[in-house]
Amino acid sequence: MKPRILEVRTKILKKNDELARAMRERFAEAGVFVVNVVSSPGAGKTELLTRLLADLGRDHKAVAVVGDLATEHDADRLAQSGCEARQILTGTMCHLEADMVEKAIEGWDLDAIDVLFIENVGNLVCPQGFDLGEDLRLLLFPVTEGEDKPLKYPTLINTCDAVAISKTDLAVAAEFDIETARANTERARPGVAMFETSAKTGAGADALAGYLRERVAAKRVAAIGEHETVG
Amino acid sequence: MKPRILEVRTKILKKNDELARAMRERFAEAGVFVVNVVSSPGAGKTELLTRLLADLGRDHKAVAVVGDLATEHDADRLAQSGCEARQILTGTMCHLEADMVEKAIEGWDLDAIDVLFIENVGNLVCPQGFDLGEDLRLLLFPVTEGEDKPLKYPTLINTCDAVAISKTDLAVAAEFDIETARANTERARPGVAMFETSAKTGAGADALAGYLRERVAAKRVAAIGEHETVG
């Protein structure tokens, strides 16, 4: 039985990879920078993302889609940033797949969009293998989870481009040692970009927004360059 | 393709269910009370479990197995309770399955054991469908995840017998409203047993240990009754 399960799993992943690749091409042509935000449940993705949307939304067309098993709270919360947000309900599915994102962004004029944030389902394992066509995978690692999480759950962090240590306002109460956490993160994913953020106080959100702003600009320059070469 | 995936998933679940049923019979014959502890990563399962093991271990033979993707820290931490604990390494697997538990408890004399705690992989979705032969499924819901989690992640909580709101020592710092959390928990899983615990201060751990102690005793009485009927 095991070989057959593996075969089916491989097929699901392959199908997802093919669609994600096609979406990445569409995003590149349209000049949309895409961020896949992953973490455990309750790590503060929605709250931090609302701040990032409001910040980038000042001079970019930024939008978001958000995946949850149930409830539509999070799209409403994200929309408080002033940016458009759509909910994806996954039912019992523990991660987002490329076809769910493709369906959720239907009808949006990608040429008019600069940044698309995808807030994944809260899960520190399963989103790992599912490419969503993103340019950047951002992992939130809240101080309330303890310093050891990058070592205990290496699978997802190993695929991330940036890590935001979140809820730093609770670091003292949670007796969280930021230096140990940074060292464990670096050990699990050498060279990964790291930020220390609190969505509650706003601390560090501007540094993360600045980093994203630079990445968005770099993609736009690359897209224009390619367009001129083609033209 | 979808029907084939469903078919394979159904087969995996069916195979797990059959093994879990056989294990439940073995546990019943030996008079072992089994608790499956589930939650998101970093909810404080290991720390609370260490307290429960130390408490129940005073007058019971209590043991534990713990699942993690990587590292063996948690079995070492649990063993500080004075009870025996074994690590299950799941690699990239996002939940425990019955065969992993069966393998982990090999060599233990079940007749001599009163309570077996199974600490699942930190994941608020995937452990849902995988019966481990347990008598009781205990979900930890930390105050740092926010009051809305029972509504946003109903899948796993819908299969739980008891919920321990954990890390209550951080409730004020996290601005967590316990009454809203209790109401949301009751809404997601009417009638579920609820406890408020802090593994750090020890608050509420004795009430939860007392509840488990009663359940263990009830199972032992049932096992003796059955034995006498058979004899």
Binned at pLDDT 50, 70 and 90, residue B40 comes out as: very high
Residue B231's pLDDT is what? 45
Q: For residue A196, what are its two tokens?
A: 């220390």
Whether the CA torsion B199, B201, B206, B207 is positive or negative: it is negative
Q: For residue B4, what are its two tokens?
A: 């084939």
**Which chain B residue has the Cα nearest residue A68?**
B152
**Which chain B residue has the Cα nearest residue A91?**
B155
Q: For residue B133, what are its two tokens?
A: 């032969």
- Number of Cβ within 10 Å of residue B162's Cβ equals 20
Residue B230's pLDDT is what? 55
Backbone angles phi, psi at B171, to 5 degrees: -60, -45
ipTM: 0.89
User: Can you tell me whether residue B159 is helix, strand or coil?
Assistant: coil
What is the mean predicted confidence (pLDDT) over B77-106?
96
Residues B189-220: b if buried by 16+ CB within 10 A, e if exposed = beebebbbbbbbeeebbeebbebbbebbeebe
State the burial class of residue B185 (Cβ atoms within 10 Å of its Cβ: 0-12, 13-18, 19+): buried
- Residue of A8, A153, A173 lying closest to B4 (CB–CB): A8
Q: Pick B20 or A8 by higher pLDDT.
A: B20
pLDDT of B1 strictly over 50: no
CB–CB of A124/A153 below 8 Å? yes
H or E segment and range at residue B170: none
Residue B229's pLDDT is what? 64
**Tens-digit pLDDT profile for residues A145-162:** 999 999 999 999 999 999
- Residue of B123, B155, B170 lying closest to A92 (CB–CB): B155
Work out the percent of chain B whose per-residue pLDDT is above 90: 88
Question: Locate tokens 């969503």: which residue?
Answer: A132
**Tens-digit pLDDT profile for residues B57-70:** 999 999 999 999 99
CB pairs under 8 A between A and B: 124
Is A170 in contact with B167 (Cβ distance < 8 A)? no
- Residue of B15, B144, B153 lying closest to A69 (CB–CB): B153
